[in-house]
Structure 1
């Protein structure tokens, strides 16, 4: 007899509901290992409700916790084929530290199995232990978060998770109905504010590793591999109490949600959707395409929903672009591109392979390319990337490309993708979050490295404005026609460059991932796009210069112009297009406000062209 939520099916569940549960029950593991209930136990009441009552939010549709979670990267963390391949490569490269490597990697990717093993006296927890342990294979499961206790929250890192061992499940709702969970699983639901604290994420989203040299020996030095939680601490998001959950678990606000399938309980508001949308659309699609081989439980529809949510997160909450013309004459043109970070941490953040690059293109009125930076070839490999591309303030050559990334160096200062060989940051110019400050107490784990440390537009003054500005100088060789200018920002979670070192070796896990990778769609995600058109150039710069005009700026940087006498004026932008005409009296006149850029003012009263800069 199947009992759900502590009640008989005849009382609370129809035969159709029981049939549906039996259909999906085999896809998630059930049971208790002495410390943790598996996700299948949670699915009984927090999975799909065939009556469409529980976990349904009107226009939001079905938001049941289990289906949203099980196609997230968190749920699949222990079965992630790239992670498995990377761990095997680290072990192959540094075999004398296999126990330490696998133990550290499983502390987060297989957190319940890892913690339970150590609680029972194990000295290590290996990949082999994990693949034989259903609780390990449950990945970052329900109780990986809901069983964390309010102890040292935010102060731990690198897989040091503090679990409660007394069969409690912490949640956000006051006065939860306890009896169904107690009867069905033995767990007691308990209200605690800490479950909504960003510190819940800290222990696995700050990773500091011990460096080994090329012989695989520890050298007594540590390396910050990723520090997403500390990046959040060093931002205005922390000051404004906007936690990780606010962005990655969207709150439904006033929408009432019935929490338990089969029980007529009062609906709750401020429900947090458990989709955990981040940025890794590439791996989500790869794992969907290979879900049978990877033994994943999510349906295609669930995968599609998670992928769509992740795309939306990337394209609306990560970065945006602005593009403007600065100058044009018969031989050249200059453009300003500003990239702004919309996230509450660096962007990209997390695993060091992730990066954002800019593709900047200028074409003529016939569509011929006059300038192109950031072009890609087969497998979307950047054509002009060699070694570690530096951070740029100004780009004037097509073989220069702006890439926002973190690059690791080994003890010899050579670029490496072997995580345990990480010794020095050769570069870290990832976009800073708004409010990032060098005076913050966690600055040692989130430092900027490389040329970006010299870029005032990137760093800001007292604190970062969360943006970077790049100038592109384009040679035109006396081309006077229309210019079409485009800039795109592309995100890659696993660029091919990051796989070259691993693919030069072979393990069973590497070969499995290689096969999946070669068949995968490697198209980078477009997260921002802007374009402008400059009209034909009219050669205003050739006008003879006199002293008819003068200009100065007030305390608000508004330009004030002075003419020797009354005059009709014409104002042109750098493309030669007329943007304003009017009458100026002799003396001081406040210039009409335009967007930042360079303008030329002419008048029939003089052959002088006044160059005017609007900041």
Structure 2
């Protein structure tokens, strides 16, 4: 693997949020969060193996103290859990006040003392892991700085959603009615947020379901089916809309003005930079034959016409208008290294060559904050603003017979083709196993939104 001398530091950083129970326990004992190898968390012989495999639990988030949340000190897994206190005096936070009698019962039965902590309902809590900066190296292999790998908290903070909604409002929606405070109590608390943590990664849920036995996953296929259904509902109903502002026939040309609206409270897509969304635009003639197509996808997950999928050194530009089938409007990030070359390796990612992800409502495109700046041609596109994008398709259809069906879809992928394909020459066992997984689970895009219209006779 590249840069083996940084392996321990990388594993320690990743396990902070991916295996926080094991990592926090190890740190309390003065140990690093090493995941791999004979002594790593993922070895069944490791005392912290079960905690590592469980990943995140209730008692991780509910022990996070309010101090410093929303500031640089707590980003990148810098959350503060008091490990000095021991059972039964450890503190557990919740959004409600707890009467002394009930608090005593919980303390004696669980070893935790419940205290009201309003930080559980604030976006700054989520930001402690979902605002992540990773170190990058220069051409000589020396650490040269930090890269904003994902910063949805800042994308949200500089949007209009900061005044109306939190992360929890969308990703932990309120349940209908109250929830019992324990299995033996009739007391109901309301409002109660459903702890489903719905996100945008239906694909990896499918991979985990398919290879659950091999990976030691304890959730059932029914659990995964329910999680995938929730995720698809979020993606297809709460993420974006696409519509035609105008579609007209001018001589032998179809002129279609497409408007995409971002419904999320952050850039879309957001999170890990392998994610992308794009417009799939088609024109069918009266017999149903394809006259024009931009943004079609292949069985391997690549996008037809995308320069980056065809050549790892290139990338697809941001378009104001599309006139050819090999032009595709892709909303994505393209990372660069310190030499300016395109990369998908986080250790070499020094910045973004392109970032035209759809902006949330109220986001000022010319924001002075560098870590969430728009990059590339979208900066010169006056129709690319907070809340979405507009683009025109001007397509010569020749002598195609009508009526013509003009359709546009907004498609989405969690793992873009280039990110996956760049791993194929890596010989690490973990990577080869991952490639086997994704080669057998089709990386088909999710349709976030679509619309169509009929033109001509």
Pair in the same fold by TM > 0.5: yes
Look at both structures and tell me which one has the larger radius of gyration over its CA atoms: 1
Q: Which of 39, 51, 75 pairs up with 1:135?
A: 51
- Specify the alignment match of 1:216 in structure 2: 141
Q: Deviations over 1:462-481 (max 9, x none)?
A: xx2x1100100100225463
Deviation at 1:326, TM superposition (A): 4.3
1:330–1:476 Cα contact (<8 Å) kept: no
- Specify the alignment match of 2:384 in structure 1: 458
Deviation at 1:227, TM superposition (A): 0.5
2:291–2:400 Cα contact (<8 Å) kept: no
- Specify the alignment match of 2:215 in structure 1: 294
Structure 1 CA distance, aligned partners of 2:451 and 2:394? 17
Structure 2 CA distance, aligned partners of 1:107 and 1:197? 21
Q: Which of 212, 222, 231 pairs up with 2:155?
A: 231
2:353 matched to 1:426?
A: yes
The change in CA–CA distance for 1:239 and 1:439 in structure 2 (over 3 A counts) is farther
Deviation at 1:392, TM superposition (A): 0.7
2:116 matched to 1:191?
A: yes
Structure 2 CA distance, aligned partners of 1:439 and 1:405? 18
1:330–1:480 Cα contact (<8 Å) kept: no
Q: Deviations over 1:145-167 (max 9, x none)?
A: 10000111111211111113331
- What secondary structure does 1:408 align onto? strand
Structure 2 CA distance, aligned partners of 1:315 and 1:477? 35
- What secondary structure does 1:436 align onto? coil
1:361–1:487 Cα contact (<8 Å) kept: yes
2:246–2:257 Cα contact (<8 Å) kept: yes
2:335 matched to 1:408?
A: yes
Structure 1 CA distance, aligned partners of 2:239 and 2:227? 17
Q: Which of 170, 175, 178 pairs up with 1:256?
A: 178
The 5 Å alignment of 1:9-24 reads none
- Specify the alignment match of 2:195 in structure 1: 274
2:416 matched to 1:495?
A: yes
The change in CA–CA distance for 1:180 and 1:286 in structure 2 (over 3 A counts) is farther
- What secondary structure does 2:204 align onto? helix
Structure 2 CA distance, aligned partners of 1:427 and 1:323? 26
- Comparing 275-284 with 105-114, greater Cα deviation is found at 105-114
**Which structure 1 residue ranges, 5 or more long, are not aligned?**
1-91, 537-615
TM-score (norm 2): 0.91
1:362–1:371 Cα contact (<8 Å) kept: yes
**Which structure 2 residue ranges, 5 or more long, are not aligned?**
309-314
Instruction: Indicate the structure whose relative CO is greater, using CA pairs within 8 Å and at least 6 residues apart.
Output: 2
The 5 Å alignment of 1:54-133 reads 92-123=1-32, 125-128=34-37, 129-131=40-42, 132=46, 133=48
- What secondary structure does 1:152 align onto? coil
- What secondary structure does 2:307 align onto? coil
Deviation at 1:429, TM superposition (A): 0.5
1:330–1:479 Cα contact (<8 Å) kept: no
2:285 matched to 1:364?
A: yes
- What secondary structure does 1:497 align onto? helix
The 5 Å alignment of 1:180-579 reads 180-219=105-144, 221-240=145-164, 242-253=165-176, 255-261=177-183, 263-387=184-308, 388-437=315-364, 443-459=369-385, 464=386, 466-479=387-400, 481-536=402-457
Q: Deviations over 1:117-136 (max 9, x none)?
A: 22322255444432222323
Structure 1 CA distance, aligned partners of 2:329 and 2:188? 50
- Specify the alignment match of 1:561 in structure 2: none
- Specify the alignment match of 1:162 in structure 2: 80
2:301–2:442 Cα contact (<8 Å) kept: no
2:333–2:352 Cα contact (<8 Å) kept: yes
Deviation at 1:103, TM superposition (A): 1.3
**Paired positions, count:** 435
Structure 2 CA distance, aligned partners of 1:244 and 1:436? 16
1:213–1:410 Cα contact (<8 Å) kept: yes
Deviation at 1:439, TM superposition (A): 6.9
1:374–1:382 Cα contact (<8 Å) kept: yes
Structure 2 CA distance, aligned partners of 1:271 and 1:489? 33
Structure 2 CA distance, aligned partners of 1:147 and 1:93? 36
Q: Deviations over 1:149-203 (max 9, x none)?
A: 0111111211111113331111112225223432232111211111111111111
Deviation at 1:321, TM superposition (A): 0.5
- What secondary structure does 1:169 align onto? strand
